[in-house]
Amino acid sequence: MQFFIDSADTEEIKQAQAMGLLDGVTTNPSLVAKTGRKFKEVLEEIVEIVDGPISAEVVSTDAKGMLKEAREYASIHENIVIKIPMIVEGLKALKVCVEENIKTNITLVFSASQALMVGKIGATYVSPFVGRLDDISTDGMELIQQIRTIYDNYAFETQILVASIRHPIHLVQSALIGADVATIPFQVIQQLAKHPLTDIGLEKFLKDWEKVPS
Ligand code: G3P
């Protein structure tokens, strides 16, 4: 399973990279807005930090505008993946990107029928948002299971990129289902390694070590 960080904060990205876990990065307009920086500048910095897929999201809502943005971002670096919203215009843009060999990540996916369309057209990644489904009392992980089954039934090559991850259990469940990628906020990456029994155990070992003659 690949680990991406869901962040546009280059300091967070560097810290996650140093942990040796990072395979890629996803950004979105909200995450970029938080940085207070120009997106192109941030993107150029990220591609230097991480040698893996970096998702850059288009903000046009028509296929023509999406494709203009897609071609611009794709020309920055071969690792750039174009993130396109799951709307009809987005599907039109996706089809052209597939023809032009531009890597894609279809975002804001909330149903199996949307994911089926994305897999059929042949996106590189599909991004179902599990946390936002949980927020409205719908089981986000059930959607991941459904997409896994559908993609396996038809041998679709689109990779399932679990997004809107809120806690470590989302990640563990994604791995059990066999999702290809999880994009994880920095705070959750830090939580993954933590266990109170690890901390208690280490404290005891170090205390006992003080009794060992040197
Ligand atoms: O980047 C897309 C997704 O991961 C956003 O997550 O927490 O805003 O629902 P969240």
Q: Whose CA is nearest to atom 7 of ligand 1?
A: 164
Q: Is 120 a catalytic residue?
A: no
Is ligand 1 within 6 A of the CB of residue 186?
Answer: no
Q: Whose CA is nearest to atom 6 of ligand 1?
A: 164
This prediction's pTM: 0.96
Report the pLDDT value the prediction gives residue 40, as an integer from 0 to 100. Answer: 95
Locus of tokens 């090559």? 157
Report the pLDDT value the prediction gives residue 158, as an integer from 0 to 100. Answer: 98
Ligand 1 atom closest to residue 163's alpha carbon, by position in its atom list: 4
How many other C-beta atoms lie within 10 A of the C-beta of residue 10? 18
Residues linked to residue 106 through DSSP beta bridges, in sequence order:
84, 126
Report the pLDDT value the prediction gives residue 162, as an integer from 0 to 100. Answer: 98
Q: Nearest CA to 82 among 96, 128, 127, 74? A: 74
Report the pLDDT value the prediction gives residue 86, as an integer from 0 to 100. Answer: 98
Q: How far apart are CA 13 and CA 152, in angstroms?
A: 32
Spell out the per-residue pLDDT of the chain, length 214, in tens. Answer: 999 999 999 999 999 999 998 999 999 999 999 999 999 999 999 999 999 999 999 999 999 999 999 999 999 999 999 999 999 999 999 999 999 999 999 999 999 999 999 999 999 999 999 999 999 999 999 999 999 999 999 999 999 999 999 999 999 999 999 999 999 999 999 999 999 999 999 999 999 999 999 8
Which of 5, 6, 12, 86 is the best mutation target for the ligand 1 pocket, counting ligand atoms within 8 Å of the beta carbon and taking the most? Answer: 6
Q: Nearest CA to 20 among 53, 50, 56, 55? A: 50
Report the pLDDT value the prediction gives residue 34, as an integer from 0 to 100. Answer: 97
- Helical residues (DSSP H) of the chain, grouped into ranges: 10-18, 29-35, 39-49, 63-74, 88-99, 112-121, 130-135, 140-153, 168-177, 186-193, 196-209
Give the torsion sign (CA, 114, 182, 158, 73).
positive
